[in-house]
Structure formats: structure tokens, C-alpha cells
Structure 1
Amino acid sequence: MNADSSAPLDILQQQIRTEAAALPPPDETVPPSPTAASDVMLSPDHPQRLRYALADFLHVHNDEFVELAYRCVLKRAPDAAGHLHALQRLAVGDSKIAILGDLCASPEARGYGVEIIGLAARHRFWRLTRLPVIGGLIERLALFWNLPEIAREQRRLGQALAQQHVAADLGDLAAEVARLREELARTRETRR
């Protein structure tokens, strides 16, 4: 850089310093603190939130769930091994409750003090269902008790899948119509 090009830079730096000096000093009487009130204003996946509802996690699936769980509970992106392990657990039918509960129980998460409202009792119940012999019986009783809710969820998922299928078909049809219009326009131009 030569002396001629540094002159405008010096002038700009001086202007910035002058404007910064004219700004009022920061208000140091009210220190920022992460409270429950500030949590309400933050988005569900905001890394500074310390309180979440279990429902914040149950509407997302697969990679999106793992990413959200790590960012909210551990305040970081998942490492490759942790990401793969969580996806494998989901693939073999492990519940999101189990994964969230295990993440929250880790020393890393306890250091942040993250709370997921509604998780503790559900995670304890999940751990009960893992007990030898009696765990299977407990799980079957719970499934029988929740059968109407499970049936509603299955119908809802069926409708969502059908809508996605219809949307995909419509997208394919729209692309085909666009292709045919282009072909028709080319044909008309060649006839002229």
C-alpha cells in the first residue's frame, strides 16, 4: 500500500473514531442476564435459551432432530460420531425422549443447566421400560393405554405422507407442462 492510498483510510478511521466518541456510554446499570423472560423472546433453536418444551423437539425428525437437540441441549453442532450414533438409535426405533434424556444427563449439558419441560418424567418412564422382564410388560401396558392417541398420530402421518405424495406429483406435472410448452413454442417457431 502506498502513501496515497492510505490517506483516505486514515480519514475514514478518524471519522469512525469521532462518531464513536460522540455515542453515549453504554448503560451499565442493568446487566444482561439470561432469565426465563428472555427465553420466551428467543426462537426455539436459539443457542442462548435455557428452557424448552418437549414439543419443541417432537415435530422434527432424523437429521433435523439431531441437529436441533445438540444445538439446544449442548449448545453446539453435533460431532460426526454423536450425529451418527443418534441417527442409528432413531433408525432402530429408539425414542426421541431417550436421546434427549441421555443428552441432558451428560456432564456437558448439565454444565449449561438446560431444562426441557416435560422430559424428566417421560425419560424416567422410558428407563423403566428398559428393565429386564418387567420393562416389556410396562411398555405394553402404556402402548395399550395410548392406543387411541397412537391411532390418531398414525392417521395424521398418513395424511401428511399422502399430501407430500400429491405435492410431488403436482410438481412433476408442472415440470412436464412447462417442458411441453417450451417444445410447443419451439415447434411454432420452426414452422414460421
Structure 2
Amino acid sequence: MNRLPEEKPLEVVRNEIRADAESARSRAPAQPARKPPKTASNTAPAAALRDEFSIPELSQAHFTSFLEQAFAALLRRPPDPAGFDAQMRLLVQGRSKIEILGNLRWSPEGRDIGVRVPWLLPRYVLAKCMRIPVLGYLLEWIVCLGGLPRIVRHQRAADTYHSARHHEVLSAFRGLQLELEAARTEIARLASGKVELGQRLDGLNDRSVQLHAEIERAAIDARELRHLVLSMNHWLASLRQNLSALELAEADQARHADALHADIASRVLALDAGR
């Protein structure tokens, strides 16, 4: 077995906490030395402005929601990309939420804000002790054996939660299948309607072609009729001129006849007078 370092385990834990704090401080953006005013955290939820949280409150969320809630509660700000990625890597590696909360709470920024989380420190120290070679392995075995009933309850709750989520996913999937089937039916109906509309459009196109042909014929007939009307107008004008000429000739003849009758009458009167 590996030998323990010469330092005391508690000192090792303290050194690890200091190292994690220094690492978190190097990753975090620069913060003022004094406690930031509450007006500077308008983007955080209203609950993040509280001065005290319980461990269950901070650890009930999961994955990214857990980290966002922890940053908002303990640091009173949204997570920065570097700090978020660092803590997410720890979660993916199997580190406990207690260790993540402790990393944030006892970082320089977290100590400066000073949010109270009862019983977090001893559990955080215990989580750090579990990282000590050999001793941490044995300590984790003891903690796991001691907390086995709680782990079993947690596993049952997790199984129930995942079963419920699985049921919700299946229900949502079935709903999507029904919607997909309805969409397919609607698409088939629209396709059938499209074919029918295509046939009607073809019929309208045929009728349109016929109508254009009839319009062309009507235009030709109209042009011929126009020529005929113009010819008739010209003929009527000529007829009017001829009638006017005949009327003038008839009037001249009537005048000559009247003059002749007057001359004959005057001569008859003269002969009667000479007798």
C-alpha cells in the first residue's frame, strides 16, 4: 500500500481547498474587494439575494440547472464560461454536488459574499478528505456503507424519477406519432386535392385556349364588319350626293316648266286681247 504523506490529513485537505480556491480565483473575472451591492445583481433571480440557503435547496436541481442555481445563490451572478466548464468537468468526473457547492462557497469570491449554507463545511471537508490517496478510498467506503440505506432510497427515487421521465417521453413520442400520422393524412389529402386542382387547371387551360380562338374569330369578324360598315357609309354618302343632285335637277326642271307655262299663258292672253 502507498504510504500517507507526512502532512496531517486535515492539513492536506486545507491545502487542497486553498489550491481549488486559487484555481477558481484565477478562472473567475476580477471582482471588487468589498461585498457587491444588491443592485449589481439584477440579472440573478430574487432568491439569489438571500443570505442563507440549505443544502437540499441548492442540490435539488441537476446538471446545468444545478450549476446555474449554485452560481446565482453562492456568487450572486450567472456562471462565467471558464468557471462553468471547470465545475461541469468535475460533475462529469463523478464529483459530488457538495464538493461543487464548497468550491464555489469557499472560493475568494464566495468567501467575500459570505452566503451561509449550514452543514456545508463539514461535508465539504469530508468530500475533500475522500480525495486523499488510500485514506480517501477507505473513508469513501465507510461513508458509502454508512449511507447505504440512503443511497438505496435515492436509487429508488431516481428509478421512479427516470421511469416517470421515460413515461413522459413515451407519451410525448406517442403524441408526436399521432401528430405525424395526422400530418401524413393531411399531406395525402392535399396531394389528392392537388391532383384534382391540376385536372381542373388543365380543363381551364383547354377552355382558355378555346376562348382565345373564339376571341380571335370574333376579332376577325369585327374587322370584316367594320370594313362592311365603312363601305356602307361610303355608299350612303354617295347615295345622298346623288339624291341631292337629282333634287337640284328636278327643281331646275320645275322652274323651267313654270317659266314655260307662264310664257304660254302670257301669249294666250295677248292673242285674246288682239282679237
Partner of 1:52: 53
Question: In the alignment, is the contact (CA less than 8 A) between 1:45 and 1:72 conserved in 2?
Answer: no
Query: Which residue of structure 2 lines up, in the alignment, with residue 14 of structure 1?
Result: none
Q: State the Cα distance separating 1:47 from its structure 2 match.
A: 2.6
Cα distance in 2 between the residues matched to 1:146 and 1:49:
31
- TM-score, normalised with respect to structure 2: 0.50
**Residue in structure 2 matched with residue 138 of structure 1 by the alignment:** 139
In 1, Cα distance between equivalents of 2:140 and 2:92:
19
| Paired letter, 2:73 | C
- Distance of 1:72 and 1:124 partners within structure 2: 20
Matched residues in 1 for 2:70 and 2:47: separation?
11
Deviation readout 1:4-28 (Å, 9 max, x if unpaired): xxxxxxxxxxxxxxxxxxxxxxxxx
**Contact between 1:71 and 1:77, CA under 8 Å: does it hold in 2?**
yes
1:45/1:82 CA distance change after superposition, 3 Å? farther
Tell me which residue corresponds to 1:111: 112
Q: 1:178 to 1:119 in 2, by over 3 A?
A: same
Is 1:102 the counterpart of 2:82 in the alignment?
A: no
Alpha-carbon distance in 1 for matches of 2:188, 2:133? 72
Match of 2:151 in 1: 150
Measured after TM superposition, the shift of residue 57 of structure 1 is 1.6
> Take 2:137 and 2:167, find their aligned partners in 1: how far apart are those partners?
39
Alpha-carbon offset, residue 81 of structure 1? 0.6
Residue ranges of structure 2 left out of the alignment (5+ in a row): 1-37, 39-44, 197-275
Tell me the distance in 2 between the aligned counterparts of 1:123 and 1:159.
28
User: Match for residue 181 of structure 2?
Assistant: 180
- 2:29 corresponds in structure 1 to none
The structure in which a higher percent of residues are helix is 2
Indicate the structure whose relative CO is greater, using CA pairs within 8 Å and at least 6 residues apart.
2
Once residues 110 and 187 of structure 2 are traced to their aligned partners in structure 1, the CA distance between those partners, rounded to angstroms, is: 62
Alignment of 1:33-52 (within 5 A): 46-52=47-53
Matched to 2:182, the amino acid is R
Residue 164 (structure 1) aligns with: 165
Q: Secondary structure at the match of 1:83?
A: helix
Moved >3 Å (runs of 4+): 181-192
How far, CA to CA, are the matches of 2:165 and 2:188 in structure 1? 34
Letter in 2 for 1:92: Q
What is the letter of the counterpart of residue 104 of structure 1? R
Matches of 2:136 and 2:177, distance apart in 1: 54
TM-score, scaled to structure 1: 0.70
Say if 1:92 and 1:153 are closer, same or farther in 2 by CA, change over 3 A.
same
Residue equivalent to 2:127: 126
| Residue in 2 that maps onto 1:86 | 87
Q: 1:60 to 1:187 in 2, by over 3 A?
A: same
Deviation of the 1:144 alpha carbon: 0.6
Give the match for residue 25 of structure 1: none
RMSD of aligned C-alpha atoms?
2.4
CA distance in 2, matches of 1:160, 1:45: 28
Instruction: For 1:8-27, list aligned pairs within 5 A.
Output: none
Post-superposition shift, 1:183? 4.1
> CA deviation digits over 1:114-157, x for unaligned, max 9?
11122112112112222232221111011011111111111211
The alpha carbon displacement at 1:188 in A equals: 6.4
> Identical aligned pairs, as a percentage?
29
> What's the CA shift for 1:96?
0.9
